[in-house]
Amino acid sequence: MTLRVQILKDKFNSSLGLPFKDLLPPSVIEQALDELKIRYKERLFDPIVTLWAFLSQVIEADKSCHNAVSKIIAYLAKFEVELPSTDTSAYCQARLRLPETLLQKLFRDTGQSLESKVTTEYLWCGRNVKVIDGSTVSMPDTIENQKAYPQPSSQTPGCGFPIAKLGVIFSLATGAAIALCIDVMNTHDIKLARNLYQFLNPLDILLGDRAFCAYADLISIKNINCDALFRKHQARKTTMQKGKIIGSSDKLVTWDKPKKCPQGLTLSEFSALPLTLTVREIYYYIVVPGFRTERVSLITTLLDTTTYSTLEIVGLYSKRWDVELDLRHLKTTLGMDVLRCKTPSMVRKEIYVYLLAYNLLRSLMWSAGTTYCTPPLRLSLQGTRHHLNNFIPELLAAHSTKRLQIYRTLLKVIAHKVVPDRPARSEPRVRKRRPKAYPLMTKPRHELRKQLQSA
């Protein structure tokens, strides 16, 4: 057993471990196990082997457990050791034994570790910017998942899928995911955000859309020595007659405390809010061919006009779209949109492993970009994933000296895959390829089977 485990650890360390050696070597996993006081038996699928297999599973296109077990058998095939069964039950049980707290810690540590590599040239006005947004993921239609993350109430029971709501904070400098909150689908984005403020560092700037622009939240962010830049909420009427004008389309405005306690706040929290709040309001117009001209109003706590000019703030808010691309990478590129696990605890673990894999890919892009003088955020995450999967067999087959040369070649080819800069690009949101002409499912599957049998 010990020999097989060591062989697998060496294989994973030379394939996935080498590209991610700065963020997730076996020593980091072992340290996390010790800090969390996690004890485990000597098995083929110990936590380190299981985690490496889980990571390789979500990075590849074929995400089945059978493919993961087949890869492990292939790793052991040329050695004179007993091969594990092709049955996936041992691996699935090992994933079930993986503590959720371990995956949470590794995900957050990798994000923070990548953040620590950010130098001044990647900061905005000398400060680190974090971007926040919410999204949803679906999962298999099981009784356990439906209880924890119910499907939309508008769907007929048996005709929909359980959906979880995610709140995520990303780093604008590295693209890495920093913090995550998971809740039921009908949870408002601002409730998720209030669970994420604790992961901000002093002097961070939080960037978000209009859903997060609330009186209490701006104060909460200021209280932790951070600043915010949000789009103005549509419920607040825009008027330029009030406020102190400090520049073209730029003014200081005093907001009054709400008369009623907002949802999500306790009476004591509401009572502790100051009576007024001074914010900065900036407005500008977006002109896109084919669309009506839109006026955008921004609200920020960055009141210093000398350090943070109007154009700098408008330019910063235009980068908020990066969070949409980050979520698309997670859900579409890596395939987190539709999860595969059948219990709520495994669903959460699967989400954390996806985010961990995403951060590791971002670390590879960061290494490639900084090594070959290319902006890391301009590199293709899909291209990085493809190159990594294609280089893994070569990394496994090479000896230690050659392996480092192959690794440097991997970084070089990743740096060559630069995404074109296409500012103000707009495309119609239509589909050219027609779907199959099948009707939507409006009754549970067992009722439809009965109809077929009685027909």
Residues 6+ apart with CB under 8 A from 355: 107, 168, 177, 180, 330
The pLDDT, as a whole number, for residue 176 is 96
Looking at residues 44-56, what average pLDDT do you find? 90
Whole-prediction pTM:
0.93
Is 36 inside a domain boundary?
Answer: no
Distances (CA, A) of 134 to 108, 206, 224, 344: 18, 14, 22, 19
Query: Which runs of consecutive H residues, i.e. helices, occur in 237-380?
Result: 267-271, 310-318, 321-328, 344-371
DSSP state of 45: S
Residue 424: band (very low, low, confident or very high) from pLDDT cuts 50, 70, 90? low
Specify the amino acid at residue 262. P
The pLDDT, as a whole number, for residue 293 is 62
Domain span at 249: 225-314
Residue 240 has pLDDT above 60, yes or no: no
Residue 244: band (very low, low, confident or very high) from pLDDT cuts 50, 70, 90? confident
pLDDT by residue (tens digit) across 360-386?
Answer: 999 999 999 999 999 999 999 999 999
Is 239 inside a domain boundary?
Answer: yes
Is 52 inside a domain boundary?
Answer: no
Is 89 inside a domain boundary?
Answer: no
The secondary structure element, H or E, covering residue 247 is: strand 244-247
pLDDT > 90 in the chain, percent: 64
Residue 390 has pLDDT above 60, yes or no: yes
Residue-by-residue DSSP string for 153-204: TTSPTTSS--EEEEEEEEETTT--EEEEEEEETT--HHHHHHTTGGGPPTT-
pLDDT > 70 in the chain, percent: 96
- Find residue 124's DSSP bridge partners: 127
The pLDDT, as a whole number, for residue 379 is 95
* CA atoms of 156 and 447, how far apart (whole Å): 12
Higher pLDDT, 184 or 424: 184
Is 233 inside a domain boundary?
Answer: yes
- Is the distance from CB of 341 to CB of 347 less than 8 angstroms? yes
Is 101 inside a domain boundary?
Answer: no
- Is the distance from CB of 352 to CB of 181 less than 8 angstroms? no
Q: Among the listed ranges 9-13, 161-165, 216-220, 267-271, which one has the minimum average pLDDT value?
A: 9-13
Phi, psi values for residue 272, rounded to 5°: -75, -10
Looking at residues 318-326, what average pLDDT do you find? 91
Number of domains in the chain: 1
Looking at residues 148-155, what average pLDDT do you find? 92
The pLDDT, as a whole number, for residue 82 is 86
Is 289 inside a domain boundary?
Answer: yes
The secondary structure element, H or E, covering residue 453 is: helix 445-454
The pLDDT, as a whole number, for residue 131 is 97
Is 256 inside a domain boundary?
Answer: yes
The pLDDT, as a whole number, for residue 393 is 86
Higher pLDDT, 222 or 23: 222
* CA atoms of 315 and 302, how far apart (whole Å): 14
Looking at residues 139-164, what average pLDDT do you find? 93
The pLDDT, as a whole number, for residue 241 is 60
Looking at residues 295-299, what average pLDDT do you find? 91
Q: What is the 3-state secondary structure (H, E, C) of 356-377?
A: HHHHHHHHHHHHHHHHCCCCHH
